[in-house]
Amino acid sequence: MDPQLNLPPLGPTAPVAEILLAETAIRIELPPSLHKLAVDRYEAIRKHIERVGSPLNGRVRIFYPQGSMAIRATIISRRRADGYDIDIVAELILPTTTAPAAVLDLLFAAINGSPGSQYHGMVERQTRCVTVNYADGMHIDITPTLLLNEMDPRQSCLFHAKKEEPTSEHRRLRMNSFGFCEWVNANSPIDVNFEEAYGRRAMAFDARRTRADADVVAVPAHSTVEGGKSVKIVAQQLLKRNRNLRYEKRDGRLPPSAMIAKFGAKTTVTGASIAWALDAISAKILGALEQAERDRVLIDVRNPRCEDERFTDRWPENRRAQRVYIEDLKLFRQQLATLQSQDLSLADKRKILADMFGIGPAQSVIDDLNAKIGVAVQTGQRVIAPTGRVIAAATAPATVGISRAAAQPRGHAFFGSRWRRE
């Protein structure tokens, strides 16, 4: 590992770049208030599908969240009108011979309902799921599945049936997203000090903005409320945001989030540094992609809980698509290293953050930092960086000097909540 990226964990000695990355992650994560809204809508859709008169009344075995919501990695997306996606699986009780298109059409009919009903006109039938679109930008994707083996719960099949394709192209695909999310969570340990510091700041930032017949697996509570936050998951959220930004104006599919999640879970991350986790995980993904390119093949990433499930079955479409993401990851790692330079001004850091994660989060983070600097200067507390610049005491690395009359405080709490004095 590049020694420049071998950073200390979050805490009293957190460098400025580490603070900036944490603050950026907070701004792109689905906040607690919107998480609650997503949970409420999850429950509402579940009840609607099972309502009396629904074509699926009595035909749903279980509902459960999958993907980012299940591993607490949901971010506010830059795609689809800057909304955010929530993924749900509806495991149905249907004859195993039911045609793929018929399964998807049945779920569409159950949700869309009749004219004037709750979701009518908000629903789209996709190739593998049915999407409910909300006016505020949220999109809930409900994937219908059938259980394959009663003795092996959640080993299921999903259905691929693109409307424009002949039925001969429709197919069933084996999957176990429930098991995969369990595996990711088991391999993404929580650092108590990190999650406490991250959680306090996330809750503070959020405060500034604004039972059924079928079984139900509850949506996990927001990480700042219960269960804690893994530094690996925070790193994955930032990588996903960077991916979304890079692909915003490109044609074709995005590198799958499940692929990122698997490499993240398999990567050993020592300590609680976001920069360290980003370096390690991006290096792991890049190395695997480059090896596939050297072998002149497409990367093949599979579910460790279901080897027949290929996360990369639709991306990369070809080696050109594979090479595009390789170059993206190389640029990301270069920018990550540059962001950690102690000689970089806040203006330069803002430019890098904006290119990595978008101008909105970057500007918000720097604005907050400048506000803290202003308060520090007005109160007579200021920190002098090695370059001679005045920076906020709340974000100072331990190596900088502190200038204040008759006081020499040492260290600081994460996110600058207070200074400790001897």
> 14 burial class (0-12, 13-18, 19+ CB within 10 angstroms)?
buried
Q: How far is CA 344 from CA 4, 6, 150, 224, 389, in A?
A: 14, 18, 59, 31, 10
Whose CA is closest to 255, among 311, 189, 337, 174? 311
DSSP 221: P
Is 141 annotated as catalytic? yes
For the chain, the first-to-last Cα distance in angstroms comes to 36
Q: How many CB atoms sit inside 10 A of residue 131's CB? A: 17
Which residue is catalytic, options 82, 85, 136, 213?
85
The SS3 of residue 191 is: coil
Give the contacts of 56 (CB within 8 A, at least 6 positions apart): 49, 50, 90, 92, 106, 107, 110
What is the rounded CA–CA span in Å between residue 340 and residue 354? 15
Is 85 annotated as catalytic? yes
What is the rounded CA–CA span in Å between residue 344 and residue 18? 14
Which residue is catalytic, options 141, 191, 206, 328?
141
Q: Report the half-sphere exposure of 266 (CA within 13 A, side-chain side).
A: 16
Which residue is catalytic, options 87, 191, 206, 279?
87
Q: How far is CA 406 from CA 345, 391, 398, 409, in A?
A: 28, 19, 19, 10
What is the rounded CA–CA span in Å between residue 408 and residue 400? 12
Residues designated catalytic: 85, 87, 141
